[in-house]
A and B are shown apart, each in its own frame.
Chain A
């Protein structure tokens, strides 16, 4: 635990020292708010109720798809590029301590960014009487979704010393995992393979779990999905690090 904390602290400091964290937070908040107000008619007078489900929580999934890789791309690639991996792995620290510490440092940055969208919650609460369940659900869904994208990036970055390659590959992977749960694509799968297969495919997508959770349905299977996806990706990270060494 202590080692995880030490690695976490250093990594988090680096994220904020290098300004990357600030850039990320500002861009995330600006974009998600802009999109909410311009494209989802936040102030639509015909809206039935005050809700964030379709106005605000529509966007984080699409933004995090490329912003989470931007936070995670340096986690391991940078260590390879500068050679500091040799320092880190010759310390009396288990590799998984470093992996988990770094992952949570990235997640903390994204967590701060997500939390920075809180004014919109105050706004809906002021304007109407929103369903708090869906708001909490939305936040939990967003956070889990971010964790999944970051874990995927983490795994990719353990396989390459190029930060740019890591960014491109991770964004592509996150995009593909989002795409397979988008209705037109789902319909295509249903036409080709039948409904069962289509459903099975989309159940592998973070997006379908995200959509379920932001409705306020934070169910056990959803959490199991995210926990296992993140654990698997972190395991892949350790495989990548081992492969890079030998």
Chain B
């Protein structure tokens, strides 16, 4: 549905987006991650046809955004970063205006506005003037604007920004639900959101794609991934520690707390997936130890995020 090929954007001498390529298919929700100023918004603005790219191409459903902007824009719903609105209009008249620009009139227009008001829980404020609304309502009004025409492609720039935890949850659910039949790109700073709503995530840093994969794949890149956390009782802590260290495939044993008859810590394998957890289980069985906890860590997205983006920042500074 969305195909981005070696997209670049230069502002003066600064390269804001550098040779970014990716594809998003129907049924996919792509999370866009990156530190502030990494080029997320710029990339999204180019995908929606608002900013002309310096190089590269964007196609929506096979339609080139630069060559056929009107046809491409018809297929896209877009929530800009700061959720801009015409503040002197009421919520429903604003939505009716956008629906008109989207080519809907009369009954079709009214139905589309009602549907969007309903989906975004805006019915209580439908006749209120936008400049009297709270931030959460404004944000949802702008979100409602983007789904009015039930587009195949949704580009959402920080859709949960400024919402309270309940609203965040609602918007995440909404994105996941709509993602089943649309192609969605959304950017966020909140990493748990990516795990909650995305089928795939891209990390952008300094205009470049530095990681691309499903949340699980990204998490596997974490140093923590594959590490086994154990809590074992029944023998002096140091004894258990020595027994764990003696297992094949263990590179390191870190202890967090050792008691007289217990051990709590982490076993770092040389390679992930070597059946180490089974070996630990068997060890406990053979020695009649109580295995209270055995957990293989999946890794944490924020670790990966920090490792990747901080490493790049340091590299750039030293260069």
Interface residues of A (CB under 8 A from B): 3, 6-7, 10, 13-14, 17-18, 82-87, 89-94, 242, 245-246
Q: With A92-B103, A246-B52 known to touch, is A87 a contact of B97 (CB < 8 Å)?
A: no
Interface residues of B (CB under 8 A from A): 45, 48-52, 70-71, 73-74, 76, 78, 80, 82, 84-89, 97-98, 100-103, 145
Residue ID in chain A nearest B49 by CB atoms? A90
Q: Could you jot down 17 A-B contacts, CB within 8 Å?
A: A6-B101, A7-B101, A10-B86, A14-B86, A17-B88, A83-B82, A84-B84, A86-B78, A86-B80, A87-B145, A90-B50, A91-B73, A91-B98, A92-B74, A92-B102, A93-B70, A246-B51
Q: With A91-B102, A92-B73, A92-B74 known to touch, is A245 a contact of B84 (CB < 8 Å)?
A: no
Residues of A within 8 A of B145 (CB): 87
Is the beta-carbon distance between A90 and B78 smaller than 8 angstroms?
yes
Consensus secondary structure, chain A interface: helix
Is the beta-carbon distance between B85 and A84 smaller than 8 angstroms?
yes
Q: Which of B52, B76, B88, B97 contacts A90 (CB 8 A)?
A: B76
Taken together as a complex, chains A and B put the C-alpha atoms of A93 and B74 apart, in Å, by 9
Excluding A87-B98, A90-B50, A242-B52, 5 further A-B contacts by CB distance (< 8 Å) are A10-B89, A86-B45, A86-B50, A245-B50, A245-B51
Is the beta-carbon distance between A86 and B73 smaller than 8 angstroms?
no
Is the beta-carbon distance between A82 and B87 smaller than 8 angstroms?
yes
Residues of A within 8 A of B48 (CB): 90
Is the beta-carbon distance between A93 and B52 smaller than 8 angstroms?
no
Residues of A within 8 A of B85 (CB): 82, 84, 87
Report the 9 A-B pairs with minimum CB-CB distance, sorted nearest first.
A83-B84, A86-B80, A92-B73, A92-B74, A91-B101, A84-B84, A90-B48, A90-B78, A92-B70
Residues of B within 8 A of A83 (CB): 80, 82, 84
Residues of A within 8 A of B103 (CB): 92
Is the beta-carbon distance between B101 and A3 smaller than 8 angstroms?
yes
Is the beta-carbon distance between B101 and A14 smaller than 8 angstroms?
no
